[in-house]
Amino acid sequence: MRLELLAAMNQERAARRACVLVTPMPEGEQRLVKLADLDGDPLADALDAALRSGKSGMAEHEGRSYFLTVQVPPPRLLVIGAVHITQALAPMARTAGFDVTIIDPRTAFATPDRFPDSPLFADWPQNVLPGLGLDRYTAVACFTHDPKIDDPALEAALSADCFYVGGLGSRKTHGKRVERLKEKGFSDAQIARIRAPIGVDIGAVSPAEIAVSVLAELVLSLRKKPLREQMVAGASA
């Protein structure tokens, strides 16, 4: 690998940006494709699939073989609300490969003994999120039912084009949430990205069942939603 390609890959890694090193087989000149340059690339479909899977492997295009070396940031889950659902979701999400961080200004809930294995911020989301660098490999799930806590996190996630944005609450609750976001200037297309009611509809009742439904929706959004469609949606919002 040429040193300039290695340096470019390291730069993308440090910035939490996905990229793919394309190597023609059995020989040929390598090139690096960044996520921002994905659309319009001759191998766009194969690159998109490889980035969503997070796995390197072979690809075929017009009778020629390529090895795709995939580099993606570890997916992050930022949970707003140190509630019972979060206690069930955090360990499951870590097992599934997500870096989990919990944010809740209510110090009665945000205690290390309730969340011993996750980074925990007993602070307001608007104070914490700017320092975490939200990106396309970040998911935000809001569980507090309190607009003063959830809304700033939702606003930050929609503005940052996070791959998943979810909010707990009934359809009536979400309707009021939509009104508030529209008053803040968010478009219908942006607001439509919020998964609400949150989670895959499996008839979940208990906190643990809701956590399962949310984790399923997280994986679905991460692995099956084409990255190029997300980029186009973000650009047009």
Instruction: Determine the average pLDDT of the residues in 110-123.
Output: 95
pLDDT at residue number 77: 98
Supply 234's token pair: 């973000």
What is the C-alpha separation between 84 and 70, in angstroms, rounded? 36
Q: What is the pTM of this model?
A: 0.84
Supply 42's token pair: 């001759």
Q: What is the pLDDT of residues 161-205, one digit of tens each?
A: 899 999 998 889 999 999 999 999 999 999 999 999 999 999 999
Q: What is the pLDDT of residues 34-85, one digit of tens each?
A: 988 988 899 999 999 899 888 999 999 989 999 999 999 999 999 999 999 9
Instruction: Determine the average pLDDT of the residues in 108-132.
Output: 95
Please give the single-letter amino acid code of residue 32: L
What is the C-alpha separation between 210 and 213, in angstroms, rounded? 5
Supply 94's token pair: 């870590």
Q: What are the residue ranges of CATH 3.40.50.720 in the chain?
A: 76-236
pLDDT at residue number 226: 52
Over the chain, what HEC string results? CCHHHHHHHHHHHHCCCCEEEEEEECCCCCEEEEHHHCCCCCCHHHHHHHHHHCCCEEEEECCEEEEEEEECCCCEEEEECCCHHHHHHHHHHHHCCCEEEEECCCCCCCCCCCCCCCCEECCCHHHHHHHCCCCCCEEEEECCCCHHHHHHHHHHHHHHCCCEEEECCCHHHHHHHHHHHHHCCCCHHHHCCEECCCCCCCCCCCHHHHHHHHHHHHHHHHHHCCHHHHHHHHHHC
User: Fold for domain 76-236?
Assistant: Rossmann fold (3.40.50)
